[in-house]
A and B are shown apart, each in its own frame.
Chain A
């Protein structure tokens, strides 16, 4: 087993364990910290797949900006394990597990026979050079539209969280 494969398994277990702890943990602050670990592991996967741009963007946007926003809100509300509302009824948990497991079963059965392979650390489609060319030639209009989306999201967030005068 090569170093890259070892790294793949290590990052996979780290990410799955972090994601499980997000769901299990009672304290919302711990959940957020485990989610940050998960996002770093996913960024490691992107680096393994040679998607360097997405790895950096994932760290900056998700682990940096979004998770800090979550932490800020949780600490503003002073949430901890004591203020955590109790779970909904057990039936909902069982129903969710069964529904999710059925979805998983169908998808696993559908894809099990596929013979596609992936090579680590090769290919240049994930480099900033290639992605920049694609983004600013074929997808320049959606790129500009996304700035309008950000503007509307910013105004919306300000209007929603404003105290009613």
Chain B
């Protein structure tokens, strides 16, 4: 399988995430689209690690496993980020009784 296919697949995920973030006003949907973009990057990193291992794996058998460790750390950080982000959204809902991000522009003043 050519590596390009995985690249285009991750790019499509990232693009869908971008399209989701721009027009929506529901904070939870925006957050989910950010998760989608993170997953696009994860998939691309795993594909890169496989390609790297296929090219240099004869000399260095474990080359490329660093990328998968990196994906693991991205998942760790994403889990921490989600817990704090959802807490912020819950507090936004408690103060404004809505999850509309346009209410947040009152932070300007």
Contact = CB atoms under 8 A, between A and B. Distances in A.
Looking at A20, A87, A118, the one whose CB has the most chain B CB atoms below 10 A away is A118
In terms of DSSP, what is the predominant structure of the interface of chain B?
helix
B5 A69 contact: no
Contact of B25 (A58, A85, A116, A154): A85
Contacts of A149: 76-77, 80
A66 B76 CA distance: 11
Nearest to A57: B75
A16 B78 CA distance: 21
B69 A161 contact: no
Interface residues of B, number: 76
B47 to A, nearest CB: 6
Interface in A115-155: 115-120, 123-126, 130-131, 133-135, 138-139, 142, 146, 149-150, 152-154
A138 B73 CA distance: 14
Interface of B: 1-9, 11-26, 28-29, 31-33, 35-36, 39, 42-43, 46-47, 49-51, 53-55, 57, 61-66, 68-69, 71-73, 75-84, 86-91, 93, 98-100, 102
20 contacts: A15-B9, A19-B12, A22-B29, A22-B32, A22-B36, A38-B36, A49-B50, A85-B26, A103-B15, A108-B11, A114-B7, A116-B3, A118-B3, A118-B6, A118-B54, A133-B62, A142-B73, A157-B83, A157-B84, A157-B86
